[in-house]
């Protein structure tokens, strides 16, 4: 039989397991709130046809460059189970369950994810990528 202290500890663990966590859309909204013109990275740091991981105020993001004059920014939170998506060879891959996403629009290339990555508007300004 468990004592009252053990019961309270177990209740605390259950509460921690059901607490809400940030969604990919929450991540995107928080970063977008920084405002237009906020520098994300140097354009030269992002390979054409590839992506890099960037951090903005503790939010893990993916900055992609499908073409030399085209950039996109996405939350790195997988829309399937919340794992961290990473740059891969010409796409964005989730190591947890194998979901794959497109560089150009975050669209699902292969599941189990069914929703695209949350996008954050960016633009090229001089030599930098900034929030739009």
What is the value of pTM for the model shown?
Answer: 0.80
54 in any annotated domain: yes
Q: What distance in Å separates the CA atoms of residue 22 and residue 67, rounded to the nearest whole number?
A: 31
59: domain CATH number? Answer: 2.102.10.10
Question: Is the distance from CB of 105 to CB of 72 less than 8 angstroms?
Answer: yes
- Three-state SS string over 97-132 comes to CCCEECCCCCCEEECCCCCCCCEECEEEECCEEEEC
Structural domain range at position 82: 22-131
pLDDT digits over 84-97, tens only?
999 999 999 999 99
pLDDT digits over 30-64, tens only?
887 888 889 999 999 999 999 999 999 888 899 99
46 in any annotated domain: yes
25-30: average pLDDT: 75
pLDDT digits over 103-115, tens only?
999 999 998 999 9
11 in any annotated domain: no
56 in any annotated domain: yes
Q: What distance in Å separates the CA atoms of residue 85 and residue 73, rounded to the nearest whole number?
A: 13
124 in any annotated domain: yes
């Amino acid at each position: 039989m468990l004592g009252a202290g053990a019961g309270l500890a177990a209740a605390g663990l259950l509460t921690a397991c059901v607490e809400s966590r940030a969604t990919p859309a929450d991540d995107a909204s928080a970063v977008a709130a920084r405002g237009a013109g906020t520098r994300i990275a140097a354009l030269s740091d992002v390979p054409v046809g590839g992506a890099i991981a960037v951090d903005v105020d503790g939010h893990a993001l993916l900055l992609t460059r499908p073409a030399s004059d085209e950039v996109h920014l996405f939350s790195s939170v997988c829309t399937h189970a919340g794992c961290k998506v990473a740059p891969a060879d010409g796409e964005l891959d989730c190591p947890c369950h194998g979901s794959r996403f497109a560089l150009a629009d975050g669209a699902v290339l292969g599941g189990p994810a069914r929703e695209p990555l949350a996008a954050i508007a960016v633009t090229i300004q001089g030599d930098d990528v900034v929030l739009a």
